[in-house]
Amino acid sequence: MKVSTSFVLPDELWKKIKVTAIERGTTVSAIVAEALSSAVSRGSGSGMFIPEGAPKHAFMLKVLTSENKQQLMTSLITEFMEMGVGDVDLLGKYLRGAKDGWKHPSRTGKESEALTYLFKLCSELHYPGFD
């Protein structure tokens, strides 16, 4: 079963990625694609980065199974943190907001489910601020 998951990067993370992209002389899409590529290379399933038109800081992951999606999204968050464009506090704020019912105007039920899963996963991995 093919599973598609799209979600919007939080504004603060978007800004950090934008600054990193300028410092590296590259684009935001390239930074996100690099993080996704690294996540996939860790053996977290197969996926591809598909930039979406609006809002600019939205992207979609396409993976083959729900299991791959969960592994890939976990690795993607790790990659952002390792790249220095996101941290646990920032991602935690976003995920806590999702858990508390925050929704982007264009967010679908599936996107909300994905964010709820990420919050649960961070709690299980005992990241600071998620216990």
What is the span of the domain harbouring residue 13? 3-124
Nearest Cα residue to 97 out of 77, 124, 119, 117: 119
Is the pLDDT at 67 greater than 80, yes or no? no
Instruction: Read off the amino acid at residue 63.
Output: V
d(C-alpha 112, C-alpha 5), whole Å: 10
Question: Is residue 47 included in any domain, yes or no?
Answer: yes
Question: Is residue 22 included in any domain, yes or no?
Answer: yes
Question: Is residue 130 included in any domain, yes or no?
Answer: no
| Contact assessment for residue 68 and residue 6, using Cβ atoms and an 8 Å cutoff | no
d(C-alpha 26, C-alpha 29), whole Å: 9
Question: Is residue 97 included in any domain, yes or no?
Answer: yes
pLDDT at residue 99, as a whole number: 43
3-class DSSP assignment, residue 6: strand
DSSP state of 84: T
Question: Is residue 21 included in any domain, yes or no?
Answer: yes
Mean pLDDT of 56-65: 53
| Contact assessment for residue 2 and residue 61, using Cβ atoms and an 8 Å cutoff | no
Question: Is residue 131 included in any domain, yes or no?
Answer: no
Question: Into how many domains does the chain fold?
Answer: 1
Is the pLDDT at 25 greater than 80, yes or no? yes
Longest dimension (CA), the chain: 40
- The whole-chain average pLDDT of the chain stands at 59
d(C-alpha 70, C-alpha 59), whole Å: 16
